[in-house]
Amino acid sequence: MIAIAALFAAQQVVVVLCSSSSVSISSDRISELPGQPPGVRFQQFSGYVSVDEKKDKGGLFYYFVEAQIDPTSKPLVLWLNGARDNLVFLQNWFLKFPQYKDRSLYITGESYAGHYIPQLAELMLQFNKKVKMFNLKGIALGNPVLEFATDFNSRAEFFWSHGLISDTTYKVFTSACNYSRYVSEYYRGSVSPICSRVMSLVTTETSKFVDKYDVTLDVCISSVLSQSKILNPQQVTETVDVCVEDKTVNYLNRRDVQKALHARLVGVDRWLVCSNILDYELLDVEIPTINIVGRIIEAGIPVLVYSGDQDSVIPLTGSRKLVHRLARELRLRTSTPYRVWFAGMQVGGWTQVYGNMLSFATIRGASHEAPFSQPERSFVLFKAFLEGRPLPQQF
């Protein structure tokens, strides 16, 4: 948590994690987190923001990190992962922190955020026509679900191009039953025999020992084996702690950490990365949001779509195709041709910009959750986005 906070502390960020308790917190300031290193100079807050006090629907948990340097001059970033009732949350959050109401606001998030962030941004723009409340300046979407078939069916090519499936399996995965068809059948509880056979083949070849969210990273062997009840785990590599997610979950389940964060467990005994308390309306994922992104751009709000290039869940190839198609539909000319960008002394990824309003970028070596796996490169991208600058073209 401290590492995440340090990453965000250059710009002030509100992170909305999940829905939970309606307990009222008198003071949301975090005095100190267990294990916090000395010298932390940024302020942290966490607690709950009610979304419907009259109906007692509970609240959304938030974690707010103020900028370390000159926080009064910095924009506000709302980072959404797994939240609902986002417009109400933001209105009520401003009641807690009124000093941030008129700040430049950026919204960003990853994965399914490609579904609800564009909808939230459009609601804000509609709300502003009645009462000017949100100073929205841009949105950024990481490995986002924007168009069901394009995003999901790009998985087959990604698997094949990275050597995870054979030529024969690639052929049936793109003809007999593609991934969007399988997911659609699965969500409706009626998987056809052909799709069942194809997915069994794909699953066998890709292996449970490959992380589909980061196909080049070693897996946490102890975690994978505990799920399959196999003994004798191997040693993980020393250079990358691939079990960091497990350690993070254990940290956040410590009583002293939850107390410091003013967090309460309601209806569960243990905090999990993905809680079954919050369920998506699964079939909603089939509703495209790329058209909403287009309307946001036409309203004058810049949009960045970025992809961790090692993610097979929502691969970069699908996102890049959708962004290019949208640029063509909006008649946006390329202002920055496809090129590399740098983070430090290494290539950070590739980027292309259309009309200074729509940008696409990859983050080299990053997973489905790019800041988790490539924090330095993600920060360079994040900072350039907020400052409206091109990504670095050289060392």
Enzyme catalytic residues: 111, 311, 368
Count of Cβ atoms closer than 10 Å to residue 84 Cβ: 16
Beta strands in the chain (DSSP E): 12-20, 44-50, 59-65, 76-80, 105-110, 136-142, 303-308, 334-343, 346-354, 358-363
Of the candidates 165, 168, 196, 164, which has an alpha carbon nearest to the alpha carbon of residue 183? 196
Contacts of residue 221, defined as CB under 8 A and 6 or more positions apart, other chains included, come to 209, 233, 234, 235, 236
Place of tokens 């009641």: 95
**238-241: Cβ within 8 A, 24+ apart:** none
Q: Which residues make Cβ contacts (< 8 Å) with residue 228, sequence separation at least 6?
A: 208
Strands of 44-50's sheet, edge to edge? 44-50, 59-65, 12-20, 76-80, 105-110, 136-142, 303-308, 358-363, 346-354, 334-343
Specify which residues 350 forms β-bridges with.
Answer: 340
Tokens of 7: 């990453």
